[in-house]
Structure 1
Amino acid sequence: MRSSTKTPAKPRGRPRAYEPEQAIAHATEAFWHAGYAATSLDALSEATGMNRPSLYAAFGDKHALYLAALDRYIAAGRAAIDAALGDDVPLPRALKRMYDSALAMYYPPDDDARGCFLIGTAVTEAKDDVEVREKLGAGLRLFDHGIEARLQRAKALGELDADADPAALAGIASAILHTLALRSRAGDSRAALRATAAAGVQLICGKAAEKGGAANRTRKRSGGS
Structure 2
Amino acid sequence: MSKLPKKTGRPRAYDPDQALQQARCVFWDGGFSSTSLDDISAATSMNRPSLYGAFGDKEALYLKTLERYRDESLGALRDALSPDRPLKEGLHLVYSRSLDTYLAGERSARGCFLIGTATVEAVNHPEIRAILSGSLDAFEGVIENRLQIAVERGELERQTDTVALSRFLSVVMHSLAVRARAGQSREVLDDIARSAVDLVCGSKTRAETR
SS of alignment partner, residue 211 of structure 1: coil
2:135 & 2:81 partners in 1: Cα distance?
Answer: 18
- 1:147 corresponds, among 143, 149, 165, to 143
Partner of residue 44, structure 2:
48
Larger radius of gyration: 1
Shift of 1:109: 6.5
Which letter does structure 2 place at the counterpart of 1:173? L
2:68 & 2:76 partners in 1: Cα distance?
Answer: 12
- 1:25 corresponds, among 21, 39, 42, to 21
Shift of 1:18: 2.8
Partner of residue 4, structure 2:
none
SS of alignment partner, residue 202 of structure 2: helix
Question: TM-score if structure 2 supplies the norm length?
Answer: 0.91
On the 8 A contact 2:83/2:146 being kept in 1, the answer is: no
1:82 & 1:200 partners in 2: Cα distance?
Answer: 19
- 1:158 corresponds, among 154, 159, 181, to 154
Shift of 1:193: 0.5
Question: TM-score if structure 1 supplies the norm length?
Answer: 0.85
2:159 & 2:25 partners in 1: Cα distance?
Answer: 43
Paired positions, count: 206
Which letter does structure 2 place at the counterpart of 1:133? R
1:45 & 1:97 partners in 2: Cα distance?
Answer: 36
Shift of 1:52: 0.8
Partner of residue 206, structure 2:
211
The answer to whether residue 99 in structure 2 is matched with residue 80 in structure 1 is no
Unmatched segments (≥5 aa) in structure 1: 1-7, 216-225
Please give the residue correspondences for 1:111-130 in structure 2 after superposition, counting only pairs within 5 Å: 111-130=107-126
1:170 & 1:39 partners in 2: Cα distance?
Answer: 34
The answer to whether residue 130 in structure 2 is matched with residue 104 in structure 1 is no
On the 8 A contact 1:160/1:212 being kept in 2, the answer is: no
Shift of 1:149: 0.9
Q: Percent identity?
A: 45
Which letter does structure 2 place at the counterpart of 1:47? A
Shift of 1:115: 0.3
Partner of residue 218, structure 1:
none
Deviations along 1:24-48, one digit per CA (max 9) or x if unpaired, are: 1110000001000011111101111
1:183 & 1:177 partners in 2: Cα distance?
Answer: 10
2:137 & 2:34 partners in 1: Cα distance?
Answer: 27
**Distance 1:9-1:46 versus aligned 2 partners, 3 A rule:** farther
1:9 & 1:99 partners in 2: Cα distance?
Answer: 48
Shift of 1:16: 3.1
